[in-house]
Amino acid sequence: MSDYDSLLQSMSALAEEMRGLSALAVAQHTPVVGAIISTRCRDAQYIERTLDGLLDFCGYDPALQLYRRLCRYYWGIDPAATASYVEAYRMTWDSEENRIMDNNQLTTENSSLKDGYEHN
């Protein structure tokens, strides 16, 4: 086996372990997120610890879906804190290109909103 094949095999094994850890994180966080939402928990520290725990796994779509679900819930409690978690996700997982496109879209949308208010 060549060095390249050995490296590729090692990287594949590592990627598989990461998927397993991500799946475990989702399995552990799913009931926590469900309980936060179903009990209408308002404990900001608990919610934020849960978001912090999920952020590292948001490269795995099921973890991202849990993170988004909890962010949508937390928005009704603390929009400013939730916005910081959305930004943390973007800084961690979005590519630079996507962040630039998102910022350009927000600028365009904000400009449109501003224009709409100026005409009233």
Q: Which of 9-18, 29-38, 86-95, 110-119 has the highest mean pLDDT?
A: 29-38
| 42: Cβ contacts below 8 Å, ≥ 6 apart | 77
**What's the whole-number mean pLDDT along residues 7-33?**
91
Q: How far is CA 19 from CA 28, 34, 57, 116, in A?
A: 14, 22, 9, 47
pLDDT at 102 over 60: no
Rounded to whole angstroms, the Cα distance separating 16 from 31 reads 24
pTM above 0.95, yes or no: no
Q: Summarize pLDDT for 41-74 with one digit per residue, the tens.
A: 999 999 999 999 999 999 999 999 999 999 999 9
**For 67, what's the count of Cα atoms within 13 Å in the CB-facing half-sphere?**
26
pLDDT at 6 over 90: no
DSSP string, 25-42: HHHHHHHHHHHHHHTT--
- DSSP conformation class of 78: -
- DSSP conformation class of 85: H
| φ, ψ dihedrals at 82, nearest 5° | -65, -40
Higher model confidence: residue 115 or residue 5?
5
pLDDT at 107 over 60: no
